[in-house]
Structure 1
Amino acid sequence: LTFMVGGEANALDKARPILAAMGKNIFHAGPDGAGQVAKVCNNQVLAVQMIATAEAMALGVANGLEPATLAEIMRQSSGGNWTLEKYNPWPGVMENAPASKGYSGGFMAELMAKDLGLAQETASHSGNSTPMGALALQLYRLLLKQGKGKQDFSVVQQLFVE
C-alpha cells in the first residue's frame, strides 16, 4: 500500500508511524489536496496500462499465442509494465491474481471508475487534456453498466474477449 499525503509536513510526520503500520511507501505530495491529485494520476496510469495489457493479451491469444508465453515476452520486453509483473488480467496466467479467481478481490472496477472520474475533473479544472484517461473512464463505465463494478478492475479483460 502506498500513501500519497497532502498537507503540512509536520502533520505527516506525526501520522507516519500509523501509516507505516499499514503501508510500505509514504510520500508527502505537497499542500492540502496534493495527495488526492497524485492518487488519481497514479490510478489513471494504472487503468490505461491494464486496458492496454488486456487488449494485447486478447489480440495475442486470438492469434494463437499461449497467454502465459505472451505475458512473459511482453514482461521482458518494451511492453513490460506493473500489470504484467504483478496483476495479469488474463485468467490462469498468474495464480494469485484476481483474474485467476473470477476477478474477485483486489481493487473494484467501480472504484477505478470513480478515480478516473476524479482524474477527469482534475484535468478539467487545470485545463489539461487527458484523452487516454477519458477513454479509460468510458471503458470502466461500460463495465459498471454490465454489472461488473464489484469485480476487480482487471475484469476489463472481458471487454476484449466477449
Structure 2
Amino acid sequence: MSKPAIAFIGLGNMGGPMAANLVSAGYTVHGFDVTDIAREKAAEAGVTLHDSAADAAKDAQIVVTMLPNGRLVRNVLEECATGEGKLYVDSSTIGVGEAKENAEFLNSTGSRYIDAPVSGGVAGAAAGTLAFMVGGADADLAEAKDILDVMGRSTTHCGPVGAGAAAKLCNNMILGVQQIAIAEGLVLGQRLGLDPQAFFDVVSNSTGSCWALTTNCPAPGVLGKAPSDNNFEPGFATNLIVKDLGLAMSEVEATGTEARLGELASEIYSKLADDGLGAKDFSVVYEQLRERKA
C-alpha cells in the first residue's frame, strides 16, 4: 500500500524534526513555515517546501499542524480546508474548546480532525520518541496511526475530540510545577553544600525523579545536553509554558477545580516572561531562584 502524502505546517523546533522523521520513513512531505531558518532546515531534511500553507496542503491526504497557539491553528485550517475529505492532525497545544471548534469547522467542510498534542520536547521530536495524546474518532486515529508511530513511541486514544488537548494541559500543568520543584530542590541543596551532580545522582534514582530532572536538569554541567548547558536556549520556551498554563488555568476556572500549585506555577513563569526571559527555556527558573533569597 502506498504511503499518503503529508503536509506539515509549522517546521520549527518541534515540527521540523517531526517532519524530518516522516521523510526518513519514506513519506512525501510538503511543508510550510514563515521563518527562513525553519524552511532551510526542513529543505535539508528532504521536505518539499511551498509558499503557503494552502499550497502545501493541496496534494496531501493528511495535514499535520504544529503551531504556537490556537489562533494560528485556526487560521491555517481556514486557509487549507477545501472540502476534499482530508484528515487534519493538530499537534499544537491549544484549548479544549478550540479543538472542538476546529473539528466542527472542518466537519462542515467535509474534512476530519483529531487533536494530537505531544509530550517529549525537542529531544523526543528529534528521536521520534514523542508521546501522542489523541482526541477523535476511532477511524480517524486509525488513519493517522502509522505516521504517529513514526514520530512517537506511544499513542494514547484519550477520547473524543478535545480529550487530547485536555490531557496535554493537565500534563503541562504538572510539568510546570515539577520544573519549579526541581529548581527549588537544587538551589536548597547547593546552599546546604550539596553538589548539583550529587543531587542529580540521588534524586534521579529516588522518588523525586522526573523528566524535569532527568532530561531537562536546570543545573548546567550535569547532563551536558540540557538547555541549561546551552545558555537555556529552548527546548520549551518560557513563553510557551506561560501560554499553556494560561489555557490550563482557564479550564481550572471553568470546571471549578482547585489547583493552587498550578496557579502558583502560572504566576512564577509569567513573572519570568515579564522579566525578559520568555525566549529562554522554562528551566531558567533555576537561575532566578539562585539569585534570590527569601
Partner of 1:116: 245
Q: Which has the higher strand share?
A: 2
- Map Cα deviations across residues 16-47 of structure 1 (whole Å, 9 max, x no partner): 11222222221111111110010010111111
| Displacement of 1:84 | 2.0
| Displacement of 1:101 | 0.8
Partner of 1:135: 264
Partner of 2:136: 7
Match of 1:27 among 146, 152, 156: 156
Q: Give the residue type in structure 2 aligned to 1:15.
A: A
Partners of 2:195 and 2:261 in 1: how far apart?
A: 28
Partners of 2:166 and 2:146 in 1: how far apart?
A: 23
| Displacement of 1:67 | 0.6
Kindly tell me the number of residue pairs found equivalent between the two proteins: 162
Partner of 1:18: 147
- Map Cα deviations across residues 71-106 of structure 1 (whole Å, 9 max, x no partner): 211222222222222211111111001111111131
**Kindly, what percent of the aligned residue pairs are identical?**
42
Q: Give the residue type in structure 1 aligned to 2:213.
A: L
1:73 equivalent to 2:217? Answer: no
**SS of the counterpart of 1:114?**
helix
- Map Cα deviations across residues 93-123 of structure 1 (whole Å, 9 max, x no partner): 1100111111113111111111111111111
Partners of 2:210 and 2:152 in 1: how far apart?
A: 22
Match of 1:62 among 188, 191, 194: 191
Q: Give the residue type in structure 2 aligned to 1:53.
A: I
Match of 1:88 among 217, 221, 226: 217
1:154 equivalent to 2:283? Answer: yes
Q: Give the residue type in structure 2 aligned to 1:140.
A: Y
Deviates more, 1:70-79 or 1:39-48: 70-79
Contact kept? 2:133, 2:156, Cα under 8 Å: yes
Q: Give the residue type in structure 1 aligned to 2:258.
A: S
Partners of 2:282 and 2:152 in 1: how far apart?
A: 21
Higher relative contact order (CA 8 A, sep 6+): 1
| Displacement of 1:159 | 2.2
1:45 equivalent to 2:168? Answer: no
Q: Give the residue type in structure 1 aligned to 2:137.
A: E
- What runs of 5+ residues in structure 1 fail to find an aligned partner? none
Q: Which has the higher helix share?
A: 1
| Displacement of 1:157 | 0.8
Contact kept? 2:234, 2:282, Cα under 8 Å: no
TM-score, normalised with respect to structure 2? 0.53
Radius of gyration: which is bigger? 2
**SS of the counterpart of 2:277?**
coil
Partners of 1:19 and 1:111 in 2: how far apart?
A: 23
Partners of 1:27 and 1:105 in 2: how far apart?
A: 26
Partners of 2:288 and 2:217 in 1: how far apart?
A: 15
